[in-house]
Amino acid sequence: MYSNIVKFIHDLYKTEEFVPLHAPCFVGNEKKYLNECIDSTFVSSVGKFVDRFEEDMARYCGAKKAVVCVNGTNALHMALMLVGVEENDEVLTQALTFIATCNAISYIGACPVFLDVDRTTMGLSPQAVKEWLGKNSEIRGNSCYNKNTGRRIKACIPMHTFGHPVKIDELAEICRENYIELVEDAAESIGSLYKGQHTGTFGRIGAISFNGNKTITTGGGGMMLFQDEELGKLAKYLTTQAKVPHRWEFVHDRIGYNYRMPNINAALGCAQLENLDRFVQNKRETAALYKDFFSSIPEIEFWEEPENCYSNYWLNVVLLKDKAAQQRFLEYTNDHGIMTRPVWELMNKLPMFCHYETDKLTNTQWFAERVVNIPSSVRL
């Protein structure tokens, strides 16, 4: 069985060489725009490509404003500060996520609370959030508090796992009812839609990543999406060192952050964005081929996009029967030139976060023992 899988993936990517999990694809105006950027000498944080990338991304995603920054982790950090998360506040999130989600919470000195994911989405479960809040929280004035710890529950960060949208409208409603700010970790879901609306635009702020392994890349880089234009302007100001605009004077009236994306990275992003729809369509076609192939292997289930979703299939997923089968699959494929990986180590099991509150995490643990990511690059 495993040898047939290896052969299929090698044939799919038309190579006998090593097949990576996700490699960037440069087939458009990348070199042209990079040369323009270099010729202009504006290669740092000021330049036409920064403005253009923000405007083009806001238009593409249906946001009122977009603000670029150094990476997706910075975007989450800034987003949490902008919605008012402070030291010792609590932030509801999922244990099945990349560590950037929790690192951003920790930068502020806030505390994650890890709640279960849905079996249908792999993302934060509205039902789990609702049940946990019902048992453990109380409303005081216009704030939500954890009855066990006494801490304010200020924000909620769902993550659209592997590009598949969570039930974000249900989470948004729960957050509104409980005076909790919703920040979307849309790092992996550029090009994904939930009920026809782009991920990252349901919450107060959405954070996107353009790391080298994402569907489109700026090398490194991130972005915040806003439906509140004034909040977006404040984000732009704070991420550019909080400098008061002036032609020659350098005056700063708040603590700012050097989270600026260089123009040279934004030039790459502009070219990548021009091909985003093509990339997503190609990745969806790859997913369809995987689905057809794995349908004949009863021991392995191919993960499909959830209901009401249009997924970018950033990383394709197969589910194995148990932990032992997962490990056998990982060992064989990696030994035979196919890069595969399990889901990230669960956040509540890491030494930095193991003492924070959780629910039972039943579905979370189920996925951790079965998920394997398989090669998902755009096929040229």
pLDDT tens, position by position, 156-180: 999 999 999 999 999 999 999 999 9
In a domain, 379, yes or no: no
- The phi, psi pair for 52, rounded to 5°, reads -65, -45
Instruction: Provide the domain count of the chain.
Output: 2
Residue 319 lies in a domain: yes
> Are both 333 and 351 inside the same structural domain?
yes
Tens digits of residue pLDDT in 322-353: 999 999 999 999 999 999 999 999 999 999 99
% of the chain exceeding 70 in pLDDT: 100
Whether residue 144 is contained in a domain is answered as yes
Among 226, 247, 273, the domain boundary falls at 273
The enclosing domain of 95 has a CATH number of 3.40.640.10
Give buried/exposed letters for 338-361 (b at 16+ CB in 10 A, else e): bbbebbbebbbeeeebeebbbbeb
The answer as to whether 343 is a domain residue is: yes
Mean pLDDT, residues 120-139: 98
Q: Assess whether 260 and 329 both reside in one domain.
A: no
Q: In this model, does residue 146 exceed pLDDT 90?
A: yes
pLDDT classification of 380: cutoffs 50, 70, 90: confident
Both 87 and 198 in one domain: the answer is yes
User: Do residues 346 and 263 both lie within one domain?
Assistant: no
Per the structure, the complete domain to which residue 333 belongs is given by 2-25+276-374
* Domain membership flag for residue 109: yes
Residue 1 clears pLDDT 90, i.e. is over it: no
Full-prediction pTM beyond 0.85? Answer: yes
Find the mean pLDDT for residues 361-368: 98
What is the 3 state secondary structure string of 269-330?
HHHHHCCHHHHHHHHHHHHHHHHHHHCCCCCCEECCCCCCEECCCCCEEEECCCHHHHHHHH
If asked whether residues 173 and 281 sit together in one domain, one would say no
CATH number of the domain within which 337 lies: 3.90.1150.10
Q: Do residue 63 and residue 123 come from a single domain?
A: yes
The residues near 15 (Cβ < 8 Å, ≥ 6 apart) are none
> Are residues 177 and 80 both part of a single domain?
yes
Given a cut of 90, is residue 46 above it in pLDDT? Answer: no
Classify residue 380: in a domain, yes or no: no
Over the stretch 75-129, which tens digit does the pLDDT of each residue have? Answer: 999 999 999 999 999 999 999 999 999 999 999 999 999 999 999 999 999 999 9
Go through the chain and tell me how many residues it has: 380
Per-residue pLDDT tens for 256-306?
999 999 999 999 999 999 999 999 999 999 999 999 999 999 999 999 999
pLDDT band at 45 (very low <50, low <70, confident <90, very high): confident
CA distances from 208 to 28, 171, 270 (A): 21, 19, 15
Count other Cβ atoms within 10 Å, centred on residue 171: 24
For the beta carbon of residue 264, count every other beta carbon within 10 angstroms.
Answer: 21
